[in-house]
């Protein structure tokens, strides 16, 4: 039994915030942000827009491209750290898409979430009885950004992307190799912790406060330099391991598609893998770091622009909070 990607879709909020807009609220500039990150604009939820709506739009587009009816979907995986409902968003989304026969649940692995979702989809398909899995990567980190912190607020945007993974024969298999890893020792470098945990940790005279305060999540905290070093070190290694599992050399990669966090991270990984820049997919200039959405969003744009064609081999890699990271070698 194999599994392959047969459709993709994406959706972004209407409000676009440029680097110049940000320079009016924090001490920064278009030149600094563009030079250090490659980002020029990001989309941010506003008004009545919700992440759920973006996810539904992306999922419907993926089904339309794959020409699969919503009621033929068996499983919906919502990869997100920022669901509209703390208890999970997959159930509501699958109902709104019309997946009347599907079960769904959320996967939280920050910016690696979409890769973890792809692996989970293939494992369910290989287990048997599952034909069609919608994998949605969606995040709205703008809600957890401290918009007075120039070190982080310049980086993030909101979006949703989706793919349909379908069961197929082993010789048509399009998900060729995977590698996924975690290291909680690096959590201190990138996190957004519950304020409840903070109040428990800040106990008075050794006695935790009780009843605990109503929990909210505080702001994203990041040591950018450490995260940068981690990504540049771990992403190429992870892609090499996934290539090894796929039994393919790096020269077989048609497209390098990394989580869109920073152009300098993407360039460094491409250089270590000896992949030329014309084989690198990048759209972070327009959207910033959209966390679990960034890989399916960039894939969708590249497919619809006619860049990625049937049979192309894509090395995709996600990395971020946890710390978590993972790679997948895909055939489109
Ligand atoms: N505008 C102007 N100056 C700034 C800004 C800004 N927006 N931000 C920081 N600076 C200043 C700093 O204050 C510092 O000034 P100083 O030298 O006077 O102290 C100087 O610029 C250098 O700051 P650094 O933080 O050392 O800058 P760096 O080159 O490391 O770039 C950046 C920062 C862009 C955040 C980089 O470290 C990075 O991209 N790291 C990876 C981050 C990442 O990918 N995170 C997301 C992971 S995905 C997930 O899981 C959510």
Q: What is the pLDDT of residues 172-182, one digit of tens each?
A: 999 999 999 99
195/281 Cα distance (integer angstroms): 37
Instruction: Give yes or no: 101 in active site.
Output: no
**Helix ranges (DSSP H) in 76-214:** 90-97, 113-127, 195-201
Of the candidates 204, 157, 150, 207, the residue with the CA atom closest to the CA atom of residue 33: 150
Atom of ligand 1 nearest to the CA of 37: 34
Please give the distance, rounded to the nearest whole angstrom, from the Cα atom of residue 289 to the centre of ligand 1: 14
- What local confidence, expressed as pLDDT, does residue 19 receive? 97
- Spatial separation of the C-alpha atoms in residues 277 and 292, rounded to whole Å: 23
**309 SS3 class:** coil
Mutate to test the pocket of ligand 1, among 42, 151, 219, 294 (most ligand atoms within 8 A of CB): 151
Q: Which of the following is catalytic: 19, 132, 286, 289? A: 289
- Residue closest via CA to ligand 1's atom 48 equals 320
Output DSSP code: residue 115. H
Q: In what order do the strands lie in the sheet with 158-168?
A: 2-11, 158-168, 132-140, 75-79, 103-107
**CA of 152, closest atom in ligand 1:** 35
289 is catalytic: yes
- List, for residues 293-305, the tens digit of each pLDDT value: 999 999 999 999 9
111 labelled catalytic: yes
Which pLDDT band, with edges at 50, 70 and 90, does 45 fall under?
very high
CA dist., res. 104 & res. 93, Å (int): 9
pLDDT tier at 38 (50, 70, 90 boundaries)?
Answer: very high
Q: Please give the residue that has the higher pLDDT: either 92 or 206.
A: 92
Task: Return the H-helix or E-strand segment holding 57.
Answer: helix 51-66
Q: Average pLDDT over the chain, rounded to whole?
A: 94
pTM of the predicted structure, to 2 decimals: 0.93
The protein residue with its alpha carbon nearest to ligand 1, atom 20, reads: 151
pLDDT tens-digit map of 213-260: 667 787 998 999 999 999 999 999 999 999 999 999 999 999 999 999
Which residue is catalytic, options 99, 132, 259, 286? 259
Calculate the alpha carbon distances from 41 to 15, 35, 155, 247 in Å.
Answer: 10, 13, 9, 38
Pairing outcome for strands 75-79 and 103-107: parallel
């Amino acid at each position: 039994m194999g599994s392959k990607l047969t459709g993709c879709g994406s959706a972004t909020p209407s409000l676009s915030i440029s680097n110049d807009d940000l320079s009016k609220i924090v001490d920064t500039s278009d030149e600094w942000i563009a030079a250090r990150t490659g980002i020029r604009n990001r989309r941010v939820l506003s008004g009545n827009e919700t992440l759920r709506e973006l996810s539904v739009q992306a999922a419907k587009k993926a089904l339309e491209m794959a020409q699969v009816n919503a009621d033929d979907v068996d499983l919906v995986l919502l990869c997100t750290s920022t669901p509209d409902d703390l208890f999970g968003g997959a159930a509501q989304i699958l109902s709104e898409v019309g997946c009347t026969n599907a079960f769904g649940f959320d996967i939280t692995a920050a910016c690696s979430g979409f890769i973890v979702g792809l692996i989970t989809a293939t494992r369910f398909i290989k287990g048997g009885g599952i034909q069609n899995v919608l994998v949605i990567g969606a995040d709205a980190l703008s809600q957890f950004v401290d918009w007075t912190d120039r070190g982080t607020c310049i980086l993030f945007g909101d979006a949703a992307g989706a793919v349909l993974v379908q069961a197929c024969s082993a010789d048509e298999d399009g998900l060729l190799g995977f590698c996924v890893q975690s290291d909680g020792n690096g959590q201190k470098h990138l996190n957004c912790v519950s304020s409840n945990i903070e109040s428990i940790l800040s106990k008075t005279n050794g006695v935790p406060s009780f009843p605990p305060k109503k929990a909210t999540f505080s702001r994203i905290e990041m040591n950018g330099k450490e995260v940068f070093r981690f990504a540049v070190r771990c992403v190429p290694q992870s892609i090499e391991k996934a290539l090894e599992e796929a039994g393919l050399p790096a020269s077989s990669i048609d497209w390098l598609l990394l989580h869109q966090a920073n152009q300098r991270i993407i360039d460094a990984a491409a250089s270590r893998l000896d992949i030329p820049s014309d084989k690198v997919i990048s759209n972070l200039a327009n959207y910033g770091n959209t966390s679990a959405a960034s890989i399916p969003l960039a894939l969708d744009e590249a497919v619809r622009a006619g860049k990625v064609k049937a049979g192309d081999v894509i090395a995709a890699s996600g990395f971020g909070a946890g710390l978590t990271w993972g790679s997948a070698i895909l055939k489109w």
